[in-house]
Structure 1
Amino acid sequence: MSTKNGPLSDVRVIEMGHVIAAPMCGALLSDFGADVIKIERPGQGDMLRVLSARAKDGVGVWWKTLARNKRLVALDWKSAEGREVLRRLVENAQILIENFRPGVLERAGLAPEVLHEWNPDLVIVRISGYGQTGPRASWPGFGRAGEAMSGLAHMTGFADNAPMHPGFPAADSTTGLMAAYGAMMALHAVQSGSARGQVVDLAIFEPLLRLIDYHVPTRTGAGLPVDRNGLQAPNSYAPAGVFRAKDGKWITISAGSAATGRRLLEAAGGAEWAAQPQFQTLEGFTKDMDEIVERIGAFIALHDAQDAIDIFQAHDAVAAMVYDVDDILADPHIAARGDIVGVEGDDTKVVGPVPKLDKTPGRLRWLGRSALGADSRSVLEEFGFDSGQIAALINKGTVGAPDS
């Protein structure tokens, strides 16, 4: 392998994904040392390359972060020769990630049964819009459909207006995260001897469905709907909201209990208001929520944002500035945590590995590179192909490489 850094440095991953969900899974594993070999079609490449703004060097910034730390191979794996190349890669890997529509691999003769013939311990991560089973399995599905089906869009926005999608691809990104989690569990099962290679089947709507979580028990257990509630907490169970300060900046406040709610009230309206009997329980907050929101909003409007936050902090109440990206890049706490990283010679910065491991931390080794098949030759050499075989594969168009 090309590196021995990180807790996953003994894990090789074949990424046959495209756009966001599968590449996110591969990137998360690569952050912690996995040798991720990303396969793209010769002459075409991953659509992700052109889906975002371009950096000064002309490379898409989304590509730079989601193709980070990965070795790039351009391979027509549907051809007979390409299938043999893929087989050799699979035989020497622990994980394969794909996010094609169900049936694509099967029609190419690469069903899980075939892949497991090649490598019985292989963990196959399959990401699709609706999963590999069920009446909608064959439907095309993108992230927004997942955000809709999970309930996220229905719960986001104001009650008197349309449902809203979040400002980032929440379904795709959380699916990438859950896919990496599933891959690690399945790999542990292999390494512990409790199971050989298996299929991790993940529909794009399922990670959000699981992470939202409370809407299903709220409806089934308490008999309550979970609807759009503007800037308030779900079902208005505790004080929350976003308010504009005197200097035009925005502040978000929240509480998770009666005690933390009383701290907000004391900061914004004094100890006498916070000590009123109804605020000893969350139910009391629910009844007075309109007044609470109005008074907190009026308090914040009288102060510059940082001054208001300082007052809330003095009362041990939770309040935070609503950051734009420039605030993120300038924040000393984020800098002290090492959350924004880059590589020498490239102005593009990306979010660093999460979470932080004190003994085997993740690391950004390189950003996604522009050349399609940048590592095709070196990877094939590593896997036993000689220069003549590689040249023949390149000449036939089965493999793509720079200057080929």
Structure 2
Amino acid sequence: MRVLELGTLIAGPFAGRLLGDMGADVIKIEDPKRPDPLRTWGQGERDGHRFFWTVHARNKRCITLDLRAPEGQDLFRRLVAESDVVVENFRPGTLEKWGLGYDVLCEINPGIVLARVSGYGQTGPKAGHAGYASVAEAESGLRHLNGYPGQAPPRLALSLGDSLAGMFAVQGILAALLSRERTGRGQIVDVALTEACLAIQESVIPDYDAAGVARGPSGTRLEGIAPSNLYRTADDMWIVIAANQDTVFRRLCGAMERPELAGDPRFADHLARGVNQDELDDLIGAWAAKWPLAELLEHLSASGVVAGPVNTVAEVVADPQFRARNMLVEHHDERTGMEVLGPGVVPVLAGTPGSVRRAGAPIAGYDNGAVYGGVLGLTAAEQKDLRARGVI
């Protein structure tokens, strides 16, 4: 499958990355005058280069094309004729302004799938508003659920809403491609950042609508789900113990040498533990505080209790489980010449596994020759002329 990736920053490019990981020929299109700002994002830096781009633009061929110019729009139409999917995350109406709306694209290629990621979706009273992940997380109610009661709701130190939208876009693309196998026609995949954040909120809406329960932040635990919390160990580390299922709770009671707790009316089943979770957390917390983290993890694992440490990134990259499953893979960064570690490919497919074949292209337009020459058949002279006039 050939994918044309438009737009900048995170949601659209993340969708393109996921498709590229699974083997799609992803052609990322950047404005020759204004390349994707993602090239300069990330907190880590080496010799003026940042590494967000190294991973997020992996497995993509990068070309430059001015979609505001008539000649650029014509070249894009020619690329659409040779492609399966277009991914864009502009404000709604932008493609139409350039004469590149879905009505035009499907005339060129009836099988084209157009995935559109925006703040609020392509319809509705806010469709024309600009949107960012931070605002989408807030408006959807997702941010309200984070943190502690009575405090300002913090964000995760990532653009979560963008990544969720990118994942839903890929889900929609795959469903649209499956439908195309039956009908021969593509369609629009319309993903809103706000709706992606709303979609993962479990029973928040029915809890409110049917039972009048307005869920809010609950700190390190979930209200009514116990025990499932953070506990501090003897060496001042944190461990997550998740034993809220009845069978697992009985194992935890055995590990604590308190088997009588499993039959205690306060803790005998899921509902009782939810009502009495403060008392239960105190009991588990006092017990966990007597153990060093490593010893406690080993003891709980041997007892069949679900538990894990709160790892830093240094501990993640040393984790043998991630290493064994190739979830930490090297990217050859051509800009610096370094082998840069990054996340592996998820999910793991047994028959057709994905792979990291290249890191992000070091400069905008790096693959112009391969795409314009190889896909569209433009001569070197034609490419030179287009480059001189700022079209590519």
Is the 8 Å Cα contact of residues 253 and 262 (structure 2) preserved in structure 1? yes
SS of aligned partner of 2:231 = strand
8 Å contact 1:269–1:296 — kept in the other structure? no
Other structure's SS at 1:101 match: coil
Distance 1:124-1:85 versus aligned 2 partners, 3 A rule: same
SS in 2 for 1:348: strand
Tell me the distance in 1 between the aligned counterparts of 2:155 and 2:304: 32
Partner residue in 2 for 1:395: 388
The offset of 1:264, in angstroms, is: 2.9
Specify the alignment match of 2:371 in structure 1.
379
Question: What is the alpha-carbon distance in structure 1 between the residues aligned to residue 210 and residue 345 of structure 2?
Answer: 38
Matched, 1:366 2:355: no
SS at match of 2:71: helix
Instruction: Out of 219-228 and 370-379, give the one that drifted further.
Output: 219-228
Q: Please, which of 197, 205, 219 is the counterpart of residue 194 of structure 2? A: 205
Q: Which residue of 2 aligns with 1:177?
A: 167
TM-superposed CA distance for 1:57, in Å, is 5.5
For structure 1, list consecutive stretches of 5 or more residues without a partner in the other structure. 1-10, 400-404
Equivalents in 2 of 1:237, 1:353: separation in Å? 32
Contact 2:262–2:268 under 8 Å retained in 1: no
Change over 3 Å in CA distance of 1:300–1:47 after alignment to 2? same
What is the CA-CA distance between 1:273 and the residue it aligns to? 2.0
CA offset at residue 296 of structure 1? 1.1
Residue 169 of structure 1, CA deviation: 1.2
Asked whether the 8 Å contact 1:38–1:73 carries over to 2, the reply is yes
State the distance in 1 between where 2:246 and 2:146 align. Answer: 24
Q: Which residue of 2 aligns with 1:347?
A: 339
TM-score between both structures, scaled by the size of structure 1: 0.92
Q: For 1:328, which of 309, 316, 322 is the aligned residue?
A: 316
RMSD, aligned α-carbons: 1.5
Matches within 5 A, 1:176-325: 176-193=166-183, 196-233=185-222, 235-268=223-256, 270-325=258-313
**Contact between 1:59 and 1:370, CA under 8 Å: does it hold in 2?**
no
| Percent of residue pairs bearing the same amino acid type | 37
The 1:325/1:54 distance shift into structure 2, 3 A limit, reads closer
Shift of 1:269: 5.5
Aligned to 1:121: 111
Q: Scaled by the length of structure 2, what TM-score is found?
A: 0.95
Q: 1:255 to 1:208 in 2, by over 3 A?
A: farther
Determine the structure 2 residue equivalent to 1:92. 82
Runs (5+) with no aligned partner, structure 2: none
Residues 265 and 296, structure 1, Cα contact 8 Å, conserved in 2: no
Q: Which of 23, 31, 34 is 1:41 aligned to?
A: 31
Runs of 4+ with >3 A deviation = 53-59
Q: In structure 1, how many angstroms separate the alpha carbons of the residues matched to 2:48 and 2:351?
A: 36
Q: Helix, strand or coil: the match of 1:242? A: strand
Q: Which amino acid aligns with 2:311?
A: Y
SS of the aligned residue for 2:338 comes to coil
Check whether the contact 2:224–2:275 (CA below 8 A) recurs between aligned residues: no
CA separation in 1, counterparts of 2:27 and 2:339? 25
Residue aligned with 1:14, SS: strand
* Contact preservation (8 Å) 2:61, 2:361: no
Instruction: Give me the whole-angstrom Cα distance separating, in 2, the residues matched to 1:268 and 1:334.
Output: 29
Q: Which residue of structure 2 lines up, in the alignment, with residue 7 of structure 1?
A: none
Moved more, 76-85 or 54-63: 54-63
Does the 8 Å CA contact 1:124/1:199 hold for their aligned counterparts? yes
SS of residue in 1 equivalent to 2:365: coil
Q: Structure 1 residues 346 and 187 mapped into 2: Cα distance closer, same or farther (>3 Å)? A: same
| Greater Cα shift, 274-283 or 58-67 | 274-283
Aligned residues between the structures: 387
